[in-house]
Structures are given as C-alpha cells and as structure tokens.
Structure 1
Amino acid sequence: MAEGGAGGNQPPREHPHSLQGLLQMAVTAGGNAEPAPVEPMSDERRQWLQEAMAEAFQGQMDEVEQMKECLQLLEASSPGVEHGESSEEAHSDLERREAALDLLAELCENLDNAADFCKLDGMRLLAHRYLEHEEEGLRWRAAHLVGTCAQNVPIVQEQALALGCMRKLLRLLDHDPSEAVRIKALFAISCLVRAQEAGLQQFLRLDGFSVLMRAMQSKVEKLKIKSAFLLQNLLIDHPEQKETLCSMGMVQQLVSLIGSEHSTFHEHVLGALCSLVTDFPQGVQECQEPELALEELLKERCHLLKDQEEFQEEQDFCETLLRLCFHNQPDENNMDR
C-alpha cells in the first residue's frame, strides 16, 4: 500500500535516513491539522526505525561514556617514582593521559560533546590542573582542548573565562619554554577572544595586546605569524581598540618588525598595520613620523617584491599603506617594473 495523504493523492513519503530526519518526520506528522488514517506499521519499517533510533542514540551515548572514561583517567593521581612506581610505569601513565586528551579533543570537535564535556566538569580539570602541568605534552594538549571546546560555543567560553583560563593561557603564551605550548595557548586565546565580548574584556584587562606584541617579536615563525593574524582580525572586529594600540606604540613596533630581514611573516604584519590605519587618522599620522622612514621602507619593499607572484598580497598591503599614509598611487611605485 502506498504511503501518502488521504485518498493516496500525495506522493509516497521517503523514509528518513538520519536522526534529524526522524525528528523532522515526527514534527511534520504532529503538525497535521487532521489525523491521518492509522495504518499498521510493517515489520520491515518497524525494525528499520528501531535500529535507526538505537544507532543514533547509542552513538551519542558511547561518546559521552568515552569522555567520562577519559576524565576518570585524567582525574586520577599520577604515579611517581617516589611512591614506588618505576619510570616505565610513569611513562606509560603519561602516554595514557596524552591519549585521553587527544581523544577528548577529537570528540569535542562536536559542539554538543563540547558542552557535555563542561557539564562533566572537564574544563575545571583543565584549568586547575593540566594547563599548568609539569609535562609539556599535557600542557599543550590541555590548551588545545580548551580552544577546541570554546570554538563558537558561548556557554563553554563563559565557563573557561570564569575558571581563569585566559590569565593562564596568556601566561603560557608569554613565558612557557615550549614552542608547542605557546602556539596552542595562542590558539585557545583566539577562540576565547574572537566574537566573545567578555573574552575581549578579560584579554584587555590582562594586557593581552602587550603579550601579543611580544609574541610577534619571538623567534618562532609560526607563533609570529599567528599573533599578527590575530591582531589583524581583532582590529577588523574591534576598530574601537585602535586608539589603545596606538597609545601602546603599536605603530612603531609593527614598522620595526617590517624593517627586519624579509620573511613571510611580514605579509601579516603589513596586514595588521593596514587595519590599524584604515579610517583612523591618528594611526596615519604616526606612520608619517619622519624617524620611522616608513615611506622609503614601503617603496623599497615594493621594488624587492616586484614580479614575484608569491608575494602579491604583501605588495598589495605596501601599496595600500603608501596610498593611505603618503598619498602615493600604485603606478607611482611600479614605474620601474
């Protein structure tokens, strides 16, 4: 018998293939103004429906159980040689904890799992124990997990901020001896501060821009690039912070970085400087200070990069700055091409 509306005039209804489809089918059925004739459900359809529901809910339940098991392992006391455990046992325990954090990071890519992770008090465990753990491998994994959970989930961001994660992450970014820890801390900070007003306010109160400035001056290329990229995006999203940054000497700092030995990092620094001066006369005025010699620096850079397609975006930033700050048109800079 064909399935359809009254009288069989409607086309046959396809069986949904997911939990969302099941829910939509239920909503549609519940919204009918008139109850359709009750038809007995075939054994085949009943079995399919039962299996689909069981699979959908069991999969989610399995993931929650996995998170619980990981947290149980992470909450346990670490073994130590002073308690009679061998160094092999301690190393094995470290590997298990690292694997637990890796699995949690994978599971918490799912937004629902990230929220459940916080309900299970996982964020508190990260904030109070693992962000400051003596083992580098656990610190960077904890920072990565904070960022993974916080991406686009306001309730998770709020809990992480309330637990003091921003302060600890800024400290890691500024002082941790591990390159991996510093990079992951910056990732987590970005997840807490972008599109999150409370996160931005904490970042500002804790002098986050100064920490970001110092990160751009580090010797770690990846950290420098990601710091400049975050600065550029914060300036685009929060132009009201331009005055604060100018008062900190950010223009002078960025120009100094541009004047260092050329690298791919300069593209992001120039992008941040463009964002800082766009529609902001004070920034333009500071770029025009004679002691910075920025105009000559930008012209030299345009000459250096001419006809090199891989540096086209960097050259575009140079030409934009010349136009905004020194009223030079692109054709003036490219006459010798």
Structure 2
Amino acid sequence: MAGDGVKWDGLLKWSLSHSDGTRPPRNIREEDRRWFMEAMQAHAVDVVKRMREITMVMRTPEEVLEAQGVTPSDIEGMLDELHEHVEAIDMANDLHSVGGLVPLLGYLRNSNASIRGKAAEVVSTVVQNNPRSQQLVMEASGFEPLLLNFTSDPDITVRTKALGAISCLIRNYKAGTTAFRLANPYSGLRDALSSNNTRFQRKALNLIQYLVQENSSDCSVIAELGFPRLMIHLASSDDLEVREAALGGLLELARDGTAGNNIISTEKDQLSQLLQNRIDDIRSMSPDDLRAAREERQLVDSLWSICYNEPSVLRKEGLVVLSGEESFEMPPDVAGRFFEPPLRAWAAKAPPSNEGQVWPTEQRKRHHCV
C-alpha cells in the first residue's frame, strides 16, 4: 500500500468523518483501522535518522557534493528541513549528539549567501529558549562566525539573520552576553540602526533594549555613542514595529537616572518634537489604527511623563487606554502554548539552569530573534 502512495484528501475526509461531531461515534471496522495505520506508518519520518543523513551531507566537502550534482538550492532545501526538525527542543539538542551542530556552524562561512542565511536561521531555532544548546554553540565557537556575518557580511539579509541568531544565543545566557559585550558590537548595532532595512533595524533595537534592561551600565555606553539620536529618528519610522522598538529603547534609557538625564538635556529639542509629532499622529488615527498602535500610545505617554513629569495629552483625552480596553498591560498569553512545538513550550516553563533563564511566553514573542 505504501508503494501506491497515500491519497491524502481521502485520508483527511475519512478522519473528519469520524471526528467532526456531526454523527454519533461508531465502531471502526478492522479493515478501516488497518488501512489508516498503514497509511500513517508508510509516511512516518524517523527524525533522528533524517538528522543523521543531513549531518552526513553537511560533513561532505563542497567539491564532492558539486561533483555529485548537489546544488546550493538542494542545500537550502535540506537546511529548511533541518529547521523544521529542530523546532522540537529535544531534537535541537540531539543535533549535537548526532554530530550535526559543528557542520551546521560551518555553513555560516559558506560562500553562498543564501546558505549562510539559512544556517543562521537554523542556529536561531536551535538555541532559542534552550540553555543547553546555547552552551554547546558557544563551546563549538559558533559565536565568532555569527558576529562576523552580523558586522561585515556584504549581504544585508545574512547580516540580519546573523543578528537574530546572536540575539537568541545570548538572551538570558550570561556567557553569551559577556562575549557579546567583550566583542564591542556597538558599531555593528549602529550600522543596523542606520540601514534602510526595517527588519535589521527592529532586531537591533530589540537587542539594544534587552541589553539596557539586563545591565544598566549599557545605558551610559549607548547614550555616549549617540544611539539616542538614531532611535529618535527611527521612532518616526513608517514601520509600526520599528517605531515601537525605538520608543521602547528610549523609554528604557530615560528611566536610567544618569543616561536619562543626559538624553533629556542633550536631545531635548529633538525628543520634544518627536513626542509632539507622535501625539499629533495618534490623535488623528482612525479607530482601527488606534487599536493597532496600542503599545505605541502607551510608550509615548510613558516617555512624555518621564521627560516632563506630567501626563501627556493622550492620557488627558483618554487615548492611552481606549474604551473597552481593560488595562494597558499586555494580556496574558493563554493560547500561545497551543500553537508552538509542545516540547519547546515545555522548555519555556522549565526551571532555569545555572547559566540560562527561560523567558515567559509573552516576552519571548515580543523579542523573537529569528
């Protein structure tokens, strides 16, 4: 039966007919049960076996693969498949066990930009919310090629994906965060903020916000390097997520006593103009746009309150919390755990190890690093 192929449409209809709730349950004939089991077993995938096969390919020299007709597109497809497998956290850790982590990191240095980018995406998923894999990647010297790709790769997409992988690698992992700071990454982050790529900007802004939240000493460094001016500029971006990330970063800096006072004094005119422009734009938004800009409204009001020690016009006009919005705190994530791989969801709830700390689901979504 496996050789004939499975009629997936028929299999789906058969499944629905026995579980759609429109008819009372009935006993399944042995013939139907056997057909269903054979269909599923014929297409079951041994994930560990597939990861070993993919590892074998990744270990094979590039010239040998080329001689056998393997194209860069084939490699990209293979990495896409590997990406799906490592969504489950036990499979992500098994990648090292089957010998696949080191050759995957080797693809970060591949001559093909698309392959470098795909490899960074896989690394992001391997280390996300996974202290064990964060440690393994650092021990396998995976940080260095990621940093090199982030700071100097000629392809902006590769730089963006490398930054996403770095963000996942160091987040709530002390050794990774320390290595990142020692690498003096600020010129690369400044380049990202100055780029025209909104995704690159967002990832840099989110990482900056994480750094200043995690260590207040970064506030002064970032302020001294002129980041606030760039962030003020990006807070007027046409991209809502960029605006929110920039405003969030400015708010974190403003909350810091020394750095905040310096920003408010040195960038007073630009900051004042920014906030007034954002308030004017928000006041002119349609109801749908107002709902979409919920976080932006709260950030503008909070930043205004810190800078001028008074409520903003938005609060006075009831635009910080609209009618029907119970509060301006982020609502609890009651559904997210049902829409992510169950083992990774379990890992997000597990007690942190000595080095790593798992983020709550809501924070993980906001600071997603892929």
Instruction: Report the TM-score when normalising by structure 2.
Output: 0.66
The answer to whether the 8 A contact 1:144-1:188 is kept is: yes
**Offset of 1:192 from its aligned partner?**
0.6
The residue aligned with 2:78 is 100
Q: Which residue, 107, 114, 121 being the options, matches 1:130?
A: 107
Using the TM superposition, give the Cα deviation of residue 172 of structure 1 relative to its aligned residue in structure 2, in angstroms: 1.3
- CA pair 224-68 structure 1, distance change in 2 beyond 3 A: same
1:267–1:317 Cα contact (<8 Å) kept: yes
Query: Structure 1: where are the runs of 5+ without partners?
Result: 1-50
1:101-116 alignment runs, 5 A limit: 101-116=79-94
- Are residue 189 (structure 1) and residue 173 (structure 2) matched? no
76, 92, 98: which one aligns with 1:120: 98
> Which segment is superposed worse, 70-79 or 302-311?
302-311
User: Which structure 2 residues correspond to residues 49-88 of structure 1 after superposition, within 5 A?
Assistant: 62-79=46-63, 85=67
Counterpart AA for 2:126: C
In 2: Cα distance, 1:270 partner to 1:224 partner: 13
CA distance in 2, matches of 1:140, 1:119: 23
1:256-277 deviation digits (Å, cap 9, x = unpaired): 433x654422221011111222
> 2:265 matched to which residue of 1?
289
How far did 1:333 drift?
Answer: 8.0
Partner amino acid for 1:207? N
Alignment match, 1:325: 307
Report the Cα distance in structure 1 between the residues aligned to 2:230 and 2:177, rounded to whole angstroms: 22
Letter in structure 2 aligned against 1:64: V
Q: Paired residue for 1:143? A: 120
Partner deviation per Cα, 1:123-151 (whole Å, 9 max, x = no partner):
21122x21010112211111111111112
Residue aligning to 1:162:
139
Q: 1:332 & 1:163 partners in 2: Cα distance? A: 51
Cα separation, 2, equivalents of 1:263 and 1:334: 26
Structure 2 portions without partners, runs of 5+: 1-36, 320-370
Farther off after superposition, 234-243 or 150-159 = 234-243
Task: Name the CA distance, whole Å, in 2 between partners of 1:171 and 1:135.
Answer: 15
Question: Are 1:266 and 2:243 matched, yes or no?
Answer: yes
Name the % identity.
26
Q: Which amino acid aligns with 2:47?
A: E
Distance 2:230 2:87 in 1: 36
Aligned residues: 273
3-state secondary structure, aligned to 1:79: helix
Cα distance in 2, alignment partners of residues 107 and 333 from structure 1: 47
Query: What RMSD in Å do the two structures reach over aligned CA positions?
Result: 3.0
Q: Point out the structure with max Rg over C-alpha.
A: 1
Quick one: which amino acid aligns to residue 50 of structure 2?
Q
2:193 partner amino acid: M
Which gives a bigger RCO, structure 1 or 2 (Cα 8 Å, sep 6+)?
2
Distance 2:224 2:144 in 1: 23
- What amino acid sits opposite 2:253 in the alignment? L
